[in-house]
Every structure is written in structure tokens, then in C-alpha cells.
Amino acid sequence: MSKLEDRAGYVVFDCDSCCTTDDSLFLNHLRTEGISPAGTYITSMDLKGFSYDESGKKDLNAVEISYSVLGSCDLSSVKMSRSIFSGTKFVGNDMNRIGLRSSELSSVSIVDTKMRGVTAPVLTLRGSMVSGVDMRGGQLSHSIIRESRISSTDMSWSILRGALIRGNAFNDVDLSYSVLTNASIEQMRLQNVDLSMCRAQRSVWSTINRTRNNNIVCNSGDFRSAMFNKTMFRNADFSGSDFRDANFWNCAFINTDLTGARFEGAQFFETEIRSCTGFDALDIRSMH
């Protein structure tokens, strides 16, 4: 295995330069050449079956991995803060409790991977595809999730406080019991999304589901003082949810269950409430 070059503080490796045919071994053998895996630049590698455990330390902070494949890898509890992943595929990995604080993932594919309890505040996920991933209890406060497709993914009990979630398509995503306080959810398509018992006080929802049937379930969600703009909820269930002091601008609730929902102090501007259960549209004026 040969080092190609030093690059902005990184050590650079390429699969064509490695003297081993098994790329999955190379990180655990870097120390034989006196090189720390942390701060390594990795490109075009096939790391199937890779497992990293260096005397229990599990520190791979500030690595950069591009156009590589990580399949059936064990990265559980590994610290990979301030790392950069681009064009990389994650398939069938154990990444439970992985640390990705302040890391950046762009144009990646994460499929059938365990990421339960991931610690990733200030994470950036951009232009990526996530499917079949267990992210229950993830710590994602102040993260940025943009232009990505997330499907068949469990994000229940996740902390997304202050996050920017923009331009994504969420299909069959479980966000029940999640915390979205002060989050901004913009230009989104939400299909078959479960927001039951979520806490979304002072969150901002803008340009959501303008043309699609949503099938959103949000029993007993907390949306106090939230702001909704150009947002459509069709065939949704917001029964028991709390919208006190919320603001609705150019929104629509169509064929939606609002039984037991609370709207005291809510403000409605150019908002349509049609064919909804448990809500009398004639009462809107009294709520201004």
C-alpha cells in the first residue's frame, strides 16, 4: 500500500495505488506504515466488510471519503466528526451510535443501514438518497438536510431542533415523537409521514405539498406558535394537535381530521379549511 500524496493535511489513497486487493483491510493496516487513519483522504475504494476498532478508541475524525462503497461494515460507535463524504454508497452497514458531528454528506446513498442513536448535530446532508435506514433517536440539532430523497426510514424520537430541512421528498418516514422546535421545513413533499406526538413549537413550514395527497398522520402534535405559509395538508390526521397562537398564510386543510385540535389565538389569512372533520370553518373569524 503506498501513500500517494499529502493533500491539505490529508493522506491520500487511491484503490489503483494500493498493493492489497482487499480494500476493506487497508484502514486497519495504516498503522503498519506509521499513519493514523484519522485525517485520511480515501477515494474509489471498495470497503465491503470493513470493521474499525483500534484498541477501543474508534477515532476516524476528519476523514474524507469520496466515490467509495461501504457495504456490510461495522462502524458502530466510531467517531467521524468533521468528515466529508461525497458520491459514496453506504449499504447494509452497522452505524449505530456513530458520531458525525459537523460532517458533510453530499450525493451519497445510504441504504438498509442501522444508524440508531447517531450523534450528528450540525450535519449537512445534501443531494442524497436515504432508504430503509433506522435513525431512531438521532441527534441532528441545527443540521441542514437539502435536496434529498428519504424513504422507508425511521426517524422517530430524533432531535432536529433548529434544523433546516429544505427541498426534500419524504415518503414513508416516521418522525413520531421527534423534536422540531425552531426548525424550518421548506419546499417539501411529505407523503405517508408520521408526525404523531412531535414537538414543533415555533417551527416554520413553507411551501409544503402544494399538489399532492399527503396522508400525514400527526396525532397530538405540538405546533404552538408555529408559522405555516403556502402549505397544504390533504387527507391528513391532526386530531388532538395543538395549534395555539400559530399563523397560517395561504394554506389549506382539505379532507383532514382536526378532531380535538386546539386553535386558540391562531391567525388565518387566505386559508382554506374544506371537508375537514372536527372543525367549523365559521369559527375562524373568532380566532383572529
pLDDT at 71: 87
Question: Which residue reads 378532531 in cell numbers?
Answer: 259
DSSP 95: -
pLDDT of residue 70: 87
Report helix, strand or coil for 63.
coil
The DSSP symbol for 185 reads E
* pLDDT at residue number 42: 72
Which secondary-structure segment (H or E) carries 3?
none
Q: Give pLDDT, residue 34.
A: 40
Q: Which residues make beta-bridge pairs with 229?
A: 206, 249
Number of H helices and E strands in the chain, helices first, is 0, 22
- CA distances to 101, 117, 168, 222, 245 from 227, rounded to whole Å, are 29, 29, 19, 12, 9
Structural domain spans, the chain = 46-287
- Reduced to 3 states, what is the DSSP secondary structure of residue 201? coil
Residues 30, 2: Cα–Cα separation, whole Å: 10
Topology of domain 46-287 in CATH is Pectate Lyase C-like (2.160.20)
Give the whole-angstrom CA distance, residue 115 versus residue 118.
6
* Alpha-carbon distances of 203 from 125, 143, 153, 177, 224, rounded to whole Å: 20, 14, 22, 15, 9
Helix (H) or strand (E) holding 43: strand 40-43
Whole-angstrom Cα distance, residue 47 to residue 162? 34
pLDDT for position 59: 77
Which residues make Cβ contacts (< 8 Å) with residue 201, sequence separation at least 6?
181, 182, 222, 223, 224, 225, 226
pLDDT of residue 52: 63
- What pLDDT score does 195 carry? 96
Q: In the prediction, which pLDDT does 60 show?
A: 80
Give 25's DSSP letter.
G
Whole-angstrom Cα distance, residue 146 to residue 164? 8
pLDDT tens sequence for the chain (288 residues): 333 334 344 434 444 444 344 444 455 544 434 444 555 667 776 666 666 655 555 678 888 888 888 888 888 998 999 999 999 999 999 999 999 999 999 999 999 999 999 999 999 999 999 999 999 999 999 999 999 999 999 999 999 999 999 999 999 999 999 999 999 999 999 999 999 999 999 999 999 986 566 789 999 999 999 999 999 999 999 999 999 999 999 999 999 999 999 999 999 999 999 999 987 654 454 444
State residue 17's pLDDT score.
42
What lies within 8 Å, CB to CB, of 242 at 6+ separation is 220, 221, 222, 223, 224, 261, 262
In residues, how long is the chain? 288
